[in-house]
């Protein structure tokens, strides 16, 4: 096997595969390698549906070997260190690889110690996370007999920011079907200041929350889970401005001046997300500020801010937009165009990434709001889809797109670099 490549890619997930497929479509003879340790490739967007018992988990998996594009070399290994001054990547087992261009796309790492007690809580039968094991979530829903169903999210960036709400809306629907909804309170507690930042979609989501009688708490940052007592502790993000009136139904109480303790009968949350060590501990990471640790790329060209021959895309990139597969669909053509122009000594293209991302808000079985947006929370709905449906409203057609259309497009078009 060669140890030098024109393009070396770290990560064979959504971003690494979409990009390598695009590059090889544009330039067949390119010498590309993908460093990826896992034998599995996952379609994570369907995990929300798996968690609600309406999608088959094994259908979200393919062999990694089957998605590596023809012409690319798969280095089945883990990148452990990036030495940008030497154009070198060190790996766990197979030594060093050198490159002309490096693309960094290892996704995220889950920080199970980022919330006190989370690691233990996830071992309990009533605590689940679609991010870790959506099959367990479905088991938790099946076994839920009423009480407090608490849905929350950490204060770090997370992939698919809408996913913690989607599973809550589906749970509500499921509990109504099985008759336990009358005996339960559903709480959505988020460290954020709103349930969604794009105003055109926010109104619809607020109506959904109202219709479903969901209790919403903003500025609630989960800091501790006590799985012996089945209680979750939230620190108020703006204690002075958040007067606390306990809700008797929830059996919640204030501890000290800024901590709210709420008992749960079931709990769902994504774990805190951080950048994988290979990026976080390297000079390639943002060194200070709220994006600290994530990959420091230009937000429009996705080229590294300090190293000219390094690009990055996908969840690892420090970009002020939603971390989604949908975003990567728009990022990959930009990286491919800029990287190839540079490699072939052509003029840099005008093409820029404008921050497109999308959140398919499932609001129940058979209902979805397709929220598409770009930087600064500006709505960016697909003009073709918008011709036929009002995407700011719940639609059955968008549910069909989510459940059947998008998975097909992912495996057959996106991963092949066709769209
Ligand atoms: C529950 C859930 C629901 C979601 N819903 C949606 C949705 O509805 N719509 C949507 O568009 N997106 C959704 N997403 C987000 C989407 O799945 C991710 O944004 C996307 O997969 C990110 O792609 P990536 O390539 O950056 O990371 P990943 O696809 O996670 O791939 C990263 C790859 O890098 C590899 N890797 C890690 N470290 C190293 C290393 N050191 N060396 C080499 N390789 C390494 C990993 O093994 C992995 O294969 C959802 C995600 C979850 C979890």
Q: What average pLDDT does this structure show over 229-239?
A: 95
Stated pTM of the model: 0.97
CA of 264 to the centre of ligand 1 (A): 29
Nearest atom in ligand 1 to 326's CA: 11
Q: What is the pLDDT of residue 240?
A: 79
User: What amino acid positions are annotated as catalytic residues?
Assistant: 160, 359
Distance of alpha carbon 76 from alpha carbon 91, whole angstroms: 10
Nearest CA to ligand 1 atom 5: 45
Judged against a pLDDT cut of 90, whether residue 113 lies above it is answered with: yes
Q: What is the pLDDT of residues 362-398, one digit of tens each?
A: 999 999 999 999 999 999 999 999 999 999 999 999 9
Torsion region of 233: left, alpha or beta (phi above 0 gives left; psi -120 to 50 gives alpha): beta
With a CB cutoff of 8 Å and minimum separation 6, the contacts of 348 are: 301, 338, 341, 342
Q: What average pLDDT does this structure show over 258-284?
A: 98
Q: What is the pLDDT of residue 241?
A: 82
Q: What percent of the chain is predicted at pLDDT more than 70?
A: 100
**pLDDT averaged over the chain?**
97
Contact between 284 and 278 under an 8 Å Cβ cutoff? The reply is no
Q: What is the pLDDT of residue 242?
A: 76
Q: Using a 6 Å cutoff on CB, does residue 323 contact ligand 1? A: yes
Contact between 316 and 275 under an 8 Å Cβ cutoff? The reply is yes
- Write the CA distances from 71 to 21, 57, 175, 414, integer angstroms: 9, 30, 49, 17
Torsion region of 61: left, alpha or beta (phi above 0 gives left; psi -120 to 50 gives alpha): beta
The CATH architecture one would assign to domain 4-108+275-357+404-416 is 3-Layer(bba) Sandwich (3.50)
Three-state DSSP class for residue 45: helix
Judged against a pLDDT cut of 90, whether residue 419 lies above it is answered with: no
SS3 content of the chain, % helix, strand, coil (to 5): 30, 30, 40
Pick the CATH number of 111-272 from 3.50.50.60, 3.40.50.1100, 3.40.50.1110, 3.20.20.140: 3.50.50.60
Q: Using a 6 Å cutoff on CB, does residue 15 contact ligand 1? A: yes
Q: Using a 6 Å cutoff on CB, does residue 30 contact ligand 1? A: no
Q: What is the pLDDT of residues 28-49, one digit of tens each?
A: 999 999 999 999 999 999 999 9
Distance of alpha carbon 149 from alpha carbon 128, whole angstroms: 11
With a CB cutoff of 8 Å and minimum separation 6, the contacts of 141 are: 51, 52, 53, 171, 174, 175, 266
Best residue among 9, 10, 13, 401 to mutate for probing ligand 1's pocket (most ligand atoms within 8 Å of CB) is: 13
Taking the alpha carbons at both ends of the chain, their separation in whole angstroms is: 30
Q: What is the pLDDT of residue 239?
A: 83
Q: What is the pLDDT of residue 243?
A: 76
Nearest CA to ligand 1 atom 3: 45
CA of 390 to the centre of ligand 1 (A): 29
Q: What is the pLDDT of residues 281-304, one digit of tens each?
A: 999 999 999 999 999 999 999 999
Contact between 79 and 106 under an 8 Å Cβ cutoff? The reply is yes
Contact between 244 and 260 under an 8 Å Cβ cutoff? The reply is yes
Burial (CB < 10 A; 0-12, 13-18, 19+), residue 411, is middle
At 276, the pLDDT band (50, 70, 90 cuts) reads very high
CATH 3.50.50.60 residue spans of the chain: 4-108+275-357+404-416, 111-272
Q: What percent of the chain is predicted at pLDDT more than 90?
A: 96
CA of 212 to the centre of ligand 1 (A): 31
Q: What is the pLDDT of residues 404-416, one digit of tens each?
A: 999 999 999 999 9
With a CB cutoff of 8 Å and minimum separation 6, the contacts of 106 are: 10, 11, 13, 79, 276, 278, 279, 316
Judged against a pLDDT cut of 90, whether residue 156 lies above it is answered with: yes
Judged against a pLDDT cut of 80, whether residue 220 lies above it is answered with: yes
CA of 13 to the centre of ligand 1 (A): 6
């Amino acid at each position: 096997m060669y140890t030098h490549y024109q393009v070396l890619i770290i990560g064979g997930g959504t971003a690494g595969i979409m990009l390598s497929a695009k590059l090889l479509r544009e330039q067949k003879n390119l010498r590309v390698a993908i460093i990826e340790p896992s034998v599995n490739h996952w379609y994570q967007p369907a995990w929300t549906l798996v968690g609600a018992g309406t999608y088959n988990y094994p259908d979200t998996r393919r062999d990694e070997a089957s998605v590596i594009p023809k012409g690319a070399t798969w280095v089945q290994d883990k990148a452990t260190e990036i030495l940008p001054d030497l154009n070198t990547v060190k790996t766990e087992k197979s030594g060093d690889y050198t490159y002309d261009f490096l693309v960094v796309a290892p996704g995220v790492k889950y920080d199970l110690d980022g919330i006190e007690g989370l690691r233990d809580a996830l071992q309990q039968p009533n605590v689940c996370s679609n991010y870790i094991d959506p099959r367990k979530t479905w088991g938790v829903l099946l076994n839920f007999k009423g009480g407090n169903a608490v849905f929350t999210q950490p204060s770090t960036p997370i992939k698919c920011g809408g996913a913690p709400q989607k599973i809550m809306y589906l749970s509500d629907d499921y509990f109504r079907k099985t008759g336990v909804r009358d005996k339960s309170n559903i709480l959505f507690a988020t460290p954020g200041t709103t349930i969604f930042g794009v105003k055109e979609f926010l109104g619809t989501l607020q109506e959904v929350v109202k219709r479903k009688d969901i209790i919403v708490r903003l500025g609630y940052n989960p800091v501790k889970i006590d799985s012996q007592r089945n209680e979750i502790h939230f620190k108020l993000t703006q204690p002075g401005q958040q007067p606390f009136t306990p809700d008797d139904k929830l059996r919640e109480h204030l501890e000290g001046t800024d901590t709210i303790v709420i008992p749960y009968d079931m709990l769902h949350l994504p774990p805190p997300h951080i950048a994988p060590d290979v990026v976080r501990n390297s000079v390639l990471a943002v060194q200070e500020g709220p994006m600290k640790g994530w990959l420091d790329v230009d937000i429009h060209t996705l080229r590294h801010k300090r190293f000219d021959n390094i690009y990055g895309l996908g969840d690892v990139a420090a970009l002020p937009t939603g971390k989604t597969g949908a975003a990567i669909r728009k990022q990959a053509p930009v990286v491919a165009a800029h990287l190839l122009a540079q490699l072939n000594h052509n003029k840099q293209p005008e093409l820029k990434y404008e921050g497109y991302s999308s959140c398919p808000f499932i609001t129940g079985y058979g209902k979805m709001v397709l929220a598409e947006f770009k930087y600064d929370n500006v709505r960016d709905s697909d003009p073709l889809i918008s011709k036929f449906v009002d995407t700011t409203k719940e639609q059955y057609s968008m549910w069909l797109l989510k459940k059947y259309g998008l998975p097909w497009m992912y495996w057959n078009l996106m991963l092949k670099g066709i769209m």
